[in-house]
Amino acid sequence: MKFFVDTANIEDIEKLIPTGFVDGVTTNPSLIAKQGADMAETIKNICSIVNGPVSAEVTATDFTKMLEEGEYLASLAKNVAVKVPLTIDGLKTCKSLREKGIMVNVTLCFSAAQALLAAKAGASFISPFVGRLDDIGEKGMDLIEDIVIMYENYAFETEVLVASIRTKQHVIDSAVIGAHVATLPPKVIYELYDHSLTDKGLKAFLDDWAKTGQSILPK
């Protein structure tokens, strides 16, 4: 499974890159607005330090303007994946951009029917929102499972990018189901490390070693 970092904060991304867990980045207008920086420069900066896809989202809602914005965003860097909403105009834009060889992330997916349309439009990524479905009493992971099975049935090349992840259990469940990508807030990535038994075991090893008075490295 690939990990994308769901943030527009350059410092957060730079801290995570040495871990080897940054396969890409997803942004949206809300995340960029929080940084208070220029949108285009923010996207360019992220693309310059990340090798994988960097999702940059359009804000238009009609096809003509959406396509214009998408082409502009794609011009900022070779690894931009234009993010479009799962609407009729968004899917038309997806098809047009894909015909130009531009990566497209179709976002705000909440049903398997929508995911099927995105795959048929040639989407590079489909972003189903598990957390928001959980919020309204539905099981977000059921949707992920349906999409994964459906895509495998027809050998669609669209990758399932699990979004709106709130917990590390969301990540584990997505991996078990077979989703291709999970986009995670930095906080959740760090939570994946945590386990009380790891901390307890490490302390015991170090305490025992300290009693020997030895050093692994030669003095």
Q: Are 76 and 48 in contact (CB under 8 A)?
A: no
In sequence order, what are the residues at sequence separation of 6 or more whose Cβ sits closer than 8 angstroms to the Cβ of residue 172? Answer: none
* 34 part of the active site: no
CB-based burial label for 55 (10 Å; 0-12, 13-18, 19+): buried
In sequence order, what are the residues at sequence separation of 6 or more whose Cβ sits closer than 8 angstroms to the Cβ of residue 210? Answer: none
- C-alpha span between 203 and 198 (Å, rounded): 9
Could you tell me how many residues make up the chain?
Answer: 219
- C-alpha span between 179 and 151 (Å, rounded): 10
Set 2, 44, 65, 83: catalytic member: 83
Tokens 């940054």 -> residue = 22
- C-alpha span between 60 and 215 (Å, rounded): 62
Phi-psi group of 211: left, alpha or beta (phi > 0 → left; psi -120 to 50 → alpha; rest → beta)? alpha
- C-alpha span between 193 and 188 (Å, rounded): 9
Residue 24 phi, psi dihedral angles, 5° rounding: 175, 180
Output DSSP code: residue 102: -
Residues annotated as catalytic (active site), given as ranges? 83
